[in-house]
Structure 1
Amino acid sequence: MNSIISPLFWAVPLCIASATVCAEESNISVANGLVSGNIGLVSKYVYRGGVENDDIAVQGGLDYAHKSGVSVGYWGSTLDYDATDERRDHGFEHDFYLAYAQQINPDWSYKVQTTVYVYQNGGSIYGEGNEHRRTTAFDVLAELAYKDVSLDASVLLADASFGNAGDVYLSASYSHALPQDFILNASIGGSAYNSSRDDSLIQTTQDFAFNEARIGVSKVIADTGVTASFDYVIGGEDRLGQDFDNNAVLGLNYSF
């Protein structure tokens, strides 16, 4: 996550929601709600412009959506690093979330969601003196959608190994049906950084930075439940003003 953004599911704020959409036809009715899941591969895991896994990443999630609009779920991905041990070239990200969503009318809807990001082995990173930060992170997301356009804002609630409490990520996404059952997907995102909580572990030189833009296509492979996707990610900058690379991402996702 230091990511959603997951290249297969578009914006990290939208990664779980999109998995639910992909599974609409195969959701399982359970206790006044629906259970859906997904598992897939992406050629790279890119999140908010930064590469979380430069090799093939295995990703998957499970969601329970109650008829009241409350949902709970999990999403995870393999990583090519361990935040607390530079000697390790692999790790795992676990995202657990609680959300509430409602349809206002046929065109408008909204969602609020809180997510905890837990990394393999947990732990903290340490700086000068007694300064340390946990790798576990918490944020809250608000989303407003009009037809095929979604606007999102997420706020980091506590200092973490990759950001400061009060950092805000703003994103917009758009999807459009194309001929032959292809879907056009596009998104853009940037961060407003809270430099007032900087220390020896986190430094900030940019008040606001464009992080990434994405454009791609996806298509469900007939009678398989598998969605194939291609995204091109245009990298922006991080909180230090350092440039992110551009990346091409291929994905396969099976929904159930």
Structure 2
Amino acid sequence: MKTAMIRTAAAGTLAAMSLASMNTALAQDPWAFSANIGAVSNYIWRGVTQTGDQAAIQGGLDVAHESGFYAGTWASNIDWDEGSSEAVTLTPVLDDGGQVVVDPVTGAQTFTAETVGADPDSPNYELDLYAGYGFAVNDDLSFDLSTIYYAYPDGRDVDFWEIGASGTYKWFTAGLAYTAWGEADDDAAFSEGDLYYYGSIDVGLPYDFGLSLFGGYYDFDTEDGGVDYGHGGVSISKEAGDFGTFSFNYDQVGRETYDDDPKFWVGWVKEF
């Protein structure tokens, strides 16, 4: 899933770049190790912001074997409260007799204000662990089987685990991800049984530019209505050698239940 920093820009474009660099290393050694670091002006995952439309710093480690096996880990800051206003708790100030202190001038009761977060259980960062196996049938056709665990160590009851499969023919990729387990309540999204369908068209352009057109649909296994949604977008990337890869991206959710405003964001990723 995160092989090639899929979340920092359009999936297919940067994935192809990362796999190409791994293949170069594998030509010399059966194992290839790589690291990446990136920054985005908005962390968008499957059409939905994970940082309240704010920036994120991201990075990961990957290992791949010439057999097609790969594994890695990836992390990013997140903000599911979406920068929501903080709650303020007022506590009355009591005198030695247990009575509320009254201002002698205004006659108003005296309180102390304590600011608390909107949701103390909302996580501040994401840590993903993933593994998979990719193989090519020929120069035009390849497949990938993967599993990924989405962990939110400082959150509560929000971790979940997916298994997935995808196929790529020339410039077209289609795939499916299934939520095999989750900490959420049985009838909630991201608990078990959710299906995510996705596809992308990824083409190379002159002068080391890349173009990706992508879309997906989330079918949640929940009794709550109004949570399934589709999304789509476009990404243009530019490989800049030692300076990494830059991208300009557009994402759009197609359901008013979510924030369906168009999202424009920029990203940068550097692999080592």
Band the TM-score falls in, shorter-chain normalisation: 0.7 to 0.9
Q: In the alignment, what sits opposite 1:176?
A: 203
Q: CA deviation at 1:29?
A: 8.1
Report the aligned-residue RMSD.
Answer: 3.1
Identity level (%): 27
Structure 1 pair 181–20 and aligned structure 2 pair: CA distance change class (3 A): closer
Give 3-state SS (helix, strand or coil) of 1:97's partner.
Answer: strand
CA distance in 1, matches of 2:13, 2:125: 16
**Is residue 239 of structure 2 the alignment partner of residue 232 of structure 1?**
no
Q: CA deviation at 1:180?
A: 1.8
**One-letter code aligned to 2:252:** I
Q: CA deviation at 1:237?
A: 2.6
Q: CA deviation at 1:163?
A: 2.1
Which protein is richer in strand relative to its size? 1
Structure 1 unmatched ranges of 5 or more: 124-133
Of structures 1 and 2, the larger Rg is shown by 2
Q: In the alignment, what sits opposite 1:76?
A: 75
Structure 2 unmatched ranges of 5 or more: 83-116
Question: Which of 152, 170, 176 is matched with 1:153 structurally?
Answer: 176
**One-letter code aligned to 1:147:** K
1:104-136, CA deviations, whole angstroms, 9 ceiling, x for partnerless residues? 11110001101101013243xxxxxxxxxx211
Q: CA deviation at 1:153?
A: 0.2
- Does the 8 A contact of 2:229 with 2:253 survive in 1? no
Q: In the alignment, what sits opposite 1:204?
A: 225
Question: Which of 230, 233, 243 is matched with 1:214 structurally?
Answer: 233
Q: In the alignment, what sits opposite 1:129?
A: none
Number of equivalent positions: 231
Question: Which of 140, 156, 160 is matched with 1:137 structurally?
Answer: 160
Structure 1 pair 167–25 and aligned structure 2 pair: CA distance change class (3 A): closer
1:146-188, CA deviations, whole angstroms, 9 ceiling, x for partnerless residues? 0121101000012444423111000001111112221111111
Q: CA deviation at 1:60?
A: 1.0
Give 3-state SS (helix, strand or coil) of 1:21's partner.
Answer: helix
Give 3-state SS (helix, strand or coil) of 1:74's partner.
Answer: strand
**One-letter code aligned to 1:56:** A
1:22-62, CA deviations, whole angstroms, 9 ceiling, x for partnerless residues? 74487488972111221010000011121101211001111
Structure 1 pair 7–159 and aligned structure 2 pair: CA distance change class (3 A): closer
Choose 18-27 or 88-97, whichever is displaced more. Answer: 18-27
Q: In the alignment, what sits opposite 1:101?
A: 134
- Does the 8 A contact of 1:186 with 1:216 survive in 2? yes
Q: CA deviation at 1:221?
A: 1.3
Query: TM-score normalized by structure 2?
Result: 0.74
Q: In the alignment, what sits opposite 1:20?
A: 18
**One-letter code aligned to 2:73:** Y
- Does the 8 A contact of 1:140 with 1:157 survive in 2? yes
Query: TM-score normalized by structure 1?
Result: 0.79
